[in-house]
């Protein structure tokens, strides 16, 4: 920076779009970039373009609170989230790029008897799934989080679901690391390139229209989170997805006081401390569908008010900044990784409030689905489950009120 960024190597190239690619991925968030990366790495498919209407990682991937865990309830979820968590463990080495994975541990507080039973059940399910979690006592919670108040007047802490190898990572670095690796494989990452139409011939995709011209492709992956409904509309099918704002905030930086992540789902709040010292705080999603990338103002007060009861020491902190993203919610709070009614078009969406943790696993499975037509990681997450009533209910594990 002192040299005015002169002489810095570009991490990825910014080419003009070619006329045609084997595969186009729409959306250069974590899931789109990871898909491209594993298409190249695992299947040798490198004639790939990733088209991004804004800047790379500027969607939810660069707006989330970076919690990584795999303590879900259903077997299909545990498989993809645990695959993802385990890929995160070595992602810095795989990409040769420091994504600052910090397995500091994540706890979900049980603050009602109902939650105690729910989390004990999850711990048993996780044991059967090979995911290491445990239900811990209030005394152990206090040991791990000395700043916590166990005796909340409304919601005392009765224990917690604890995953010691869960944690956080630097969200931008995940996008940048994948982008650099894709570019090094010869893929084109094209920013400021908005997809405005999807062309088909006889029920099969032939390409996309963009603000930088038409581009042909054999296969198309739609990976645009909160804008999935728009893209599905362009391709001529409908999705069971609702788009809604989810926001977060950080406090002014303070000295290290909490070295694990705490989620308090009954009161709709969660908190961790960033490497810079800011307390990273989030709450529930907006209660109505919208596309505002900031969220409703009253949520800030609601979230902080709820957390002050459990963490009285935050009451005097000042808020430093606040932001929001548009998350893509399904009815069962599980993602969609699927073929679609249009041949050659695949969709990866529905990660809602919890897809950062899933980026490597989702990319791995979705790349396999796009390359081979099926993947054991994605087979339960097809669109047809909504027609068949075969839901993968993760409304509790999602952890964020919606
Ligand atoms: P995005 O990163 O949003 O990428 C989609 C991209 O598609 C965007 O860059 C967008 O510009 C682009 N796009 C859209 N339309 C077009 C078009 N027409 N043409 C070209 N490009 C287009 N998850 C966790 O696991 N842990 C957390 O702690 C967590 N906290 C969160 C906190 C907040 C405040 C928010 C908003 C989300 C949080 N999430 C969390 C959820 C997580 O951020 C998302 O599930 C995940 O980042 C989704 O990644 P993505 O790649 O699918 O989407
Ligand atoms: O999925 O763990 C999560 C999460 C925490 C905050 C937002 N999402």
Q: Which ligand 2 atom minimizes the distance to the CA of 282?
A: 6
CA of 171 to the centre of ligand 2 (A): 13
Query: Could you tell me whether strands 106-110 and 261-264 are parallel, antiparallel, or unpaired per DSSP bridges?
Result: parallel
- The residue whose CA has the least distance to atom 4 of ligand 2 is 354
Contact 348, 362 (CB under 8 A): yes
Look at 399 and 220; give whichever has higher pLDDT.
220
Q: Using one digit for the tens of pLDDT, what is the confidence trace for 221-244?
A: 999 999 999 999 999 999 999 999
| Residue among 17, 24, 29, 212 whose CB has most ligand 1 atoms within 8 A, to mutate | 29
316-325 confidence digits (pLDDT tens):
999 999 999 9
Query: How many angstroms separate the most distant Cα atoms in the chain?
Result: 64
The H or E element that residue 249 is part of is: strand 242-253
pLDDT tens by residue, 120-170: 999 999 999 999 999 999 999 999 999 999 998 889 999 999 999 999 999
CA distances from 353 to 42, 66, 165, 184, 326 (A): 28, 11, 21, 31, 9
pLDDT tens per residue, range 244-256? 999 999 999 999 9
State percent of the chain over pLDDT 90: 90
Ligand lying closest to the C-alpha of residue 263:
2
40-54, 133-147, 204-218, 299-313, range with the lowest pLDDT: 299-313
Closest ligand 1 atom to 325 CA: 36
The residues lining ligand 1, judged by C-beta closer than 6 Å to any ligand atom, are 26-32, 51-54, 58-61, 63-67, 194-195, 223-225, 227, 246-248, 282, 324-325, 327, 351, 353-357
Which residues make Cβ contacts (< 8 Å) with residue 329, sequence separation at least 6?
241, 242, 243, 244, 285, 350, 352, 353, 402
Pocket lining: 67 vs ligand 2, CB cutoff 6 Å: yes
Which pLDDT score, from 0 to 100, does residue 160 have?
98
Q: Average pLDDT for residues 28-54, to the nearest whole number? A: 98
Residue 361 has pLDDT above 80, yes or no: yes
Ligand 1 atom 16: residue of nearest CA: 53
From 270, 295, 396, the mutation candidate for ligand 2 (largest count of ligand atoms within 8 A of CB) is 270
The model's confidence at residue 401, banded by pLDDT at 50, 70 and 90, is low
CA of 14 to the centre of ligand 2 (A): 32
Predicted pLDDT of residue 152: 80
Give the pLDDT band (50/70/90) at residue 43: very high
What integer is the mean pLDDT of 79-96?
A: 98
Confidence (pLDDT) at 339 = 98
Mean pLDDT of 354-380: 98
Mutation test of ligand 1: which of 224, 231, 300 has the most ligand atoms closer than 8 Å to its C-beta?
Answer: 224
Whether the per-residue pLDDT at 5 is higher than 80: the answer is: no
Q: What is the pLDDT of residue 7?
A: 79
pLDDT score recorded for residue 306: 87
Nearest to 252 by CA among 320, 321, 322: 320
Mean pLDDT value across residues 84-105: 98
- SS3 state at 367: helix
- Region 292-299 average pLDDT: 86
Confidence of residue 1 (pLDDT cuts 50, 70, 90): low
| Dihedral sign from CA coordinates of 147, 397, 363, 217 | negative
Atom of ligand 2 nearest to the CA of 355: 1
Please name which ligand lies nearest the alpha carbon of 71: 2
Q: Which of 28, 54, 59 to mutate to test the pocket of ligand 1 (most atoms within 8 A of CB)?
A: 59
For atom 2 of ligand 2, the residue with the nearest CA is 67
Q: Is the predicted pLDDT of residue 269 greater than 70, yes or no?
A: yes
How confident is the prediction for the chain on average, in pLDDT? Answer: 95
């Amino acid at each position: 920076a002192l040299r005015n960024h002169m002489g810095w190597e570009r991490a990825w190239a910014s080419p003009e779009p070619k006329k045609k690619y084997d595969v186009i991925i729409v959306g250069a968030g974590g899931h789109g970039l990871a898909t491209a990366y594993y298409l190249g790495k695992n299947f040798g498919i490198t004639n790939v373009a990733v088209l991004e209407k804004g800047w790379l990682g500027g969607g939810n991937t660069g707006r989330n609170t970076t919690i990584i865990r795999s303590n879900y309830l259903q077997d299909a979820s545990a498989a993809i989230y645990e695959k993802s968590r385990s890929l995160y463990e070595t992602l810095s080495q795989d990409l040769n790029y420091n994504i600052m994975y910090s397995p500091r541990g994540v706890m979900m507080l049980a603050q009602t008897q109902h939650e105690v039973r729910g989390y004990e059940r999850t711990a048993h399910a996780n044991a059967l799934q090979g995911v290491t979690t445990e239900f811990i006592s209030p005394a152990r919670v206090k040991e791990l989080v000395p700043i916590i108040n166990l005796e909340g007047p409304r919601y005392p802490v009765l224990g917690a679901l604890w995953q010691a190898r869960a944690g956080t990572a630097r969200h931008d670095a995940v996008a940048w690391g994948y982008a650099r690796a894709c570019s090094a494989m010869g893929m084109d990452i094209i920013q400021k390139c908005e997809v405005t139409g999807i062309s088909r011939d006889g029920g099969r995709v032939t390409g996309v229209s963009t603000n930088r011209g038409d581009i042909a492709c054999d296969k198309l992956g739609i990976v645009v989170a909160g804008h999935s409904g728009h893209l599905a509309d362009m391709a001529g099918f409908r999705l069971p997805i609702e788009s809604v704002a989810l926001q977060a905030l950080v406090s002014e930086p303070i000295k290290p006081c909490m070295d694990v992540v705490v989620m308090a789902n009954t009161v709709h709040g969660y908190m961790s401390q960033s490497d810079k010292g800011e307390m990273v705080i989030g709450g529930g999603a907006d209660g109505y569908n919208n596309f505002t990338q900031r969220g409703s103002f009253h949520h800030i007060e609601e979230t902080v008010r709820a957390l002050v009861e459990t963490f009285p020491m935050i009451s005097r902190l000042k808020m430093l900044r606040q932001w929001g993203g548009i998350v893509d919610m399904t009815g069962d709070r599980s993602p969609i990784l699927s073929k679609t009614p249009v041949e050659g078009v695949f969709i990866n969406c529905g990660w809602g409030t919890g897809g950062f943790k899933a980026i490597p696993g989702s990319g791995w499975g979705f790349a396999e689905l796009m390359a081979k037509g099926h993947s054991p990681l994605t087979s339960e997450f097809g669109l047809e489950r909504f027609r068949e009533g075969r839901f993968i209910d993760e409304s509790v594990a999602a952890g964020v009120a919606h």
